[in-house]
Amino acid sequence: MRHPKPLGAAALAFTAVTALLAHAGSTLDGHPSVTQYLKNDAPFVVFGVTPTQLDTASSGLTLSFIATEPLSQVSVFPYVRRLPDKPSGLRDPVNCGPRDMGSWNCRIPIAALLQELRDHEGELGLRIEAHGDVRERNQHSTVVITVPVRHLPASASR
């Protein structure tokens, strides 16, 4: 009888996560938030944000990411907009690094930012800039995450 070779812990974890992500209803897929890598050359992987949907009374969200090597800088530039694909100015960055190798969470305050939406639905965006070794120009990643924001009627927020 033939026995399969045991998988290493990393390969097993990768296989499990890949299998979970293949199902659209998975809690790991990030839906309804959307993550888009614009450039991916730093040792940096976004795991996601929680919550994945906001309402206008939300006060913060958490960005989860992995540094596969030390990161010299991780900056998050939040923004809001009422309509998708419309321009919006980036706010002051939230500093989420430097970080050593490992898994990290960074709390992003958003209450004041969401007040700009007032009586409208829209989306919150996070532009994430991550840098590996600053002496290496090519160790830079840019990731954009968008999270839908529902309008919460005044009676529901009390």
Task: Provide the CATH topology of domain 30-150.
Answer: Ganglioside M2 Activator Protein; Chain: A, (2.70.220)
CA distance 142 to 37: 6
pLDDT for residue 39:
93
pLDDT for residue 28:
57
pLDDT for residue 82:
84
pTM score: 0.76
**Per-domain boundaries in the chain:** 30-150
The tokens for 123 are 């989306």
- Does 136 or 39 have the greater pLDDT score? 39
The tokens for 135 are 């002496």
The tokens for 40 are 């991916």
Average pLDDT rounded to a whole number, residues 108-130: 90
Average pLDDT rounded to a whole number, residues 25-36: 72
pLDDT digit string, tens, across residues 66-87: 999 999 999 999 999 987 667 7
Of 24-33, 51-60, 76-85, 137-146, which range is least confident? 24-33
Q: Is the pLDDT of residue 33 over 80?
A: yes
For tokens 């960005």, what's the residue?
Answer: 63
Q: Is the pLDDT of residue 158 over 80?
A: no
The tokens for 157 are 């927020």
- Does 12 or 146 have the greater pLDDT score? 146
pLDDT digit string, tens, across residues 94-106: 999 999 999 999 9
For tokens 């800088």, what's the residue?
Answer: 73
Strand residue runs (E) in 12-158 = 34-40, 44-50, 54-55, 60-67, 73-81, 94-95, 102-109, 122-131, 140-150
Question: Pairing between strand 54-55 and 140-150?
Answer: parallel
pLDDT for residue 155:
56
